[in-house]
Amino acid sequence: MDIKTIGIVGAGQMGNGIAHVMALAGYDIVLNDISQDALDTAMALMAKNMERQVSRGKITQDDQSQALQRIKTTPNLIELGTVDLIIEAATERESVKQAIFEDLLPHLEPHTILTSNTSSISITRLASRTDRPEKFMGFHFMNPVPVMQLVELIRGIATDEPTFAACKKVVDRLGKTAASAEDFPAFIVNRILMPMINEAVYTLYEGVGSVQSIDSSMKLGANHPMGPLELADFIGLDTCLAIMNVLHDGLADTKYRPCPLLTKYVEAGWLGRKTDRGFYDYRGDTPVPTR
């Protein structure tokens, strides 16, 4: 199958990044969100990010202009029904994702492939709630999408080979690298990354080190570009907690128990950069550790 048109559900951090790279690769995009403000913000952010790419010589002004013209926005979900591929990039809650697919089903073309950008939720379970589990798979981009080179492609138990091949072809056209992952909780990247972040929070919780010393230790001692607590703030502490809960529930192993301090931060609404406070306070000119 030759994919030409792509529908993206969700215009937040991941959705606008996916639309950005897909449009630059020449795909016609229909970007959906329930909020018109979110759609307007996404378009402005994509224009700004592409302008940065132009200034660095990565794309031309013409590339930017044509890419933005390829993106249509709509608050009406059913307008995505005629596209070849749908990528759901809504919030990381299974009930929300299921509701989106259920609303889409009556309006889809027979050939339309359904995918989810979920970072941890079972692809097989999501697919089982649709009329086309063989044309359903995980399409997990890394954040920030325009910068990160990896895309995890996750087959559900019913995903057929033509569906996988069509999605792999899209990844290749983007100039990114596909990693094939089996459908187990959190797949590859987050199966390894999130327990490391959770352990860093435990290290803080138990008083082994401060926010600053933990992050400095991992940057200078393990050559990580960002410390684990800084990275958690960038990802969103609510997302980190949700993935840890998926690991804990799905694998029934106590080593995946979310740290109580991570839960406390989420309960406080201190979710990281997106709320201006997490393990660091971002309200001033320089981030300041909150513990």
Catalytic residue among 16, 88, 92, 152: 152
216 an active-site residue?
Answer: no
Tokens of 100: 């989106």
Catalytic residue among 32, 116, 140, 198: 140
CB contact at 8 A, 235 and 198: no
Laid out side by side, the sheet with 5-9 consists of 71-74, 28-32, 5-9, 85-88, 113-116, 136-141, 150-155, 177-181
190 an active-site residue?
Answer: yes
CB within 8 A of 249, min separation 6: which ones? 185
Give which of 227, 243, 233 is closest to 290, Cα–Cα.
233
117 an active-site residue?
Answer: no
**Burial grade of 199 (CB within 10 A; 0-12, 13-18, 19 or more):** middle
Catalytic residue among 32, 49, 190, 198: 190
CB contact at 8 A, 218 and 228: yes
Catalytic residue among 119, 120, 122, 198: 119
Annotated active-site positions, please?
Answer: 119, 140, 152, 190
